[in-house]
Amino acid sequence: MKTIYIPFEEVKPFLVLPPKAFAFLHLVRFLARNKGYFLYLAGGPVRDFLLKRPVKDLDLVLEGDWKELLPEILKEKGLTLLFQSPFLTYKLKIDEGFTLDLVTARKEIYPEPAHLPKVSPSDFKEDIFRRDFTINALIYGLTPPYEETLVDLVSGLADLKKGLIRPLHLKSFVDDPTRAFRGVRYKVRLRFDFAEEIYLALSEADKVSSFKKLSAQRLINELLLFLFKESLEDLPLLLEETKRLKLLNRTGLVLRKISPKDFEILELALIELSRKEAEKFFLLFLVEISEENLKRLGFSEKERLRLLKWWNYFFKEDSFFKLGIIEKVEVLEKLPLYFVFRLSLEETYREFILKFLKELRFVKPEVTGYDLLSMGVKEGETIGKILKELRRRRIEGELRSKEEELSFVKTLIFQSF
């Protein structure tokens, strides 16, 4: 075990926290010290401090029982307990909107590959050995017996200096395949390299098909972290590294070939789509459209049937391009926007659909139904037909102003449209 004394005053400047969080940290150190509990920082905050990167969140780990401290903690104004997880953690909200995790030092036992672990309270050593990578297994003590001391049981400091991502043991991805996806994120974010043990751990996971046993929801969660947790500029590197390790293939997914132009469409989609729609689009962005892929990515049976029906219309029936321009626009307007964006990734449809997304869908006649009624057009189907024809002519550039539209309508009326 390697220990290095580091005064808290040297750590503090890297903690990018609201004032209330510093006050909370002072309080919880006081309470833990009085109870004789070992309180420490672990994981990302310690790693990032040592790399001289800003620390924007805290994982406070207690070798003890948080339930004994929470009554005193929650007396403080502005502190709210959001929830308690079955993994012996608590999430607190501080009134500035800042949240932090209170973690119990614990031991984990995985009953089956890729299943969630069974946890039990333990000491800091067991808590260190349950972690994903050596660089995330460093701890920094906030109370005795290792107060203001960095503790390294797994040569994490050496790997940090070498810039290496190394699993703690070769069965790591057997237990939890999501660690491999996290490893990719750390590699790209920190610009580190993989240690040889990463590849050996992947081979061990393959022996028991661990990645294929990963639940759809846990797989989805990891993929969405690529998009929403990491820098968008790094996404091509993240996907390239994921492809190199064949992580998605290992889960049973068939990937599509992604071009540089696709990332431009993705950026546009993130501006246009709601969070829920963006999530669906990104999952479809990654893969070929098939029953197997959609099922693996957690789409319901109803969603799968609908998506495959639309996909077959565009790629098997070959009828879309036989439509007139206004009919094409109307077809696309009936589809969910995230699916339209997915269609735009296909070379066959890219040009027209991008024009639809950027221009055509916004082209509407200035003349309204009320205008037509005031001109003597009878209420009913005729109004809809005239408005559709006006829109078609606006899209095709035949009409450019409301005055031209009104003149055209008068001609139609005269001809008894």
> 84 with 129, same domain?
yes
> 172 with 227, same domain?
yes
> 39 with 172, same domain?
no
Q: Is residue 208 part of a domain?
A: yes
Per-residue pLDDT in tens (0 to 9) along the chain, 417 residues = 999 999 999 999 999 988 888 999 999 999 999 999 999 999 999 999 999 999 988 889 999 999 999 999 998 888 889 989 988 999 999 877 788 999 999 999 999 999 999 999 999 999 999 999 999 999 999 999 999 999 999 999 999 999 999 999 999 999 999 999 999 999 999 999 999 999 999 999 999 999 999 999 999 999 999 999 999 999 999 999 999 999 999 999 999 999 999 999 999 999 999 999 999 999 999 999 999 999 999 999 999 999 999 999 999 877 898 999 999 999 999 999 999 999 999 999 999 999 999 999 999 999 998 988 888 888 888 888 899 999 999 999 999 999 998 988 888 876 764
The per-residue pLDDT for range 116-174, each reduced to its tens digit, is 999 999 999 999 999 999 999 999 999 999 999 999 999 999 999 999 999 999 999 99
Q: Which residues contact 50 (CB under 8 A, 6 or more apart)?
A: 138, 150, 157, 160
Q: Is residue 290 part of a domain?
A: yes
pTM of the model: 0.91
Look up the domain containing 137 and give its range.
Answer: 1-161
Please state the domain count of the chain. 4
> 374 with 396, same domain?
yes
Where among 119, 144, 161 does a domain terminate? 161
Q: Is residue 261 part of a domain?
A: no
Report which residue type is found at 85: S
Helix spans in 191-300 (H): 196-207, 216-228, 235-244, 247-251, 260-272, 275-286, 291-296
The span from the CA of 314 to the CA of 309, in Å, is 9
Tokens linked to 157: 């400091």
Cα-flanking dihedrals φ and ψ of residue 118, to 5°?
-90, 130
Element at 342 (helix H, strand E): helix 337-343
Residue 94 has what pLDDT? 87
> 41 with 127, same domain?
yes
Q: Is residue 262 part of a domain?
A: no
The per-residue pLDDT for range 259-273, each reduced to its tens digit, is 999 999 999 999 999
| SS3 state of residue 171 | coil
Nearest to 372 by CA among 363, 385, 359, 362: 385
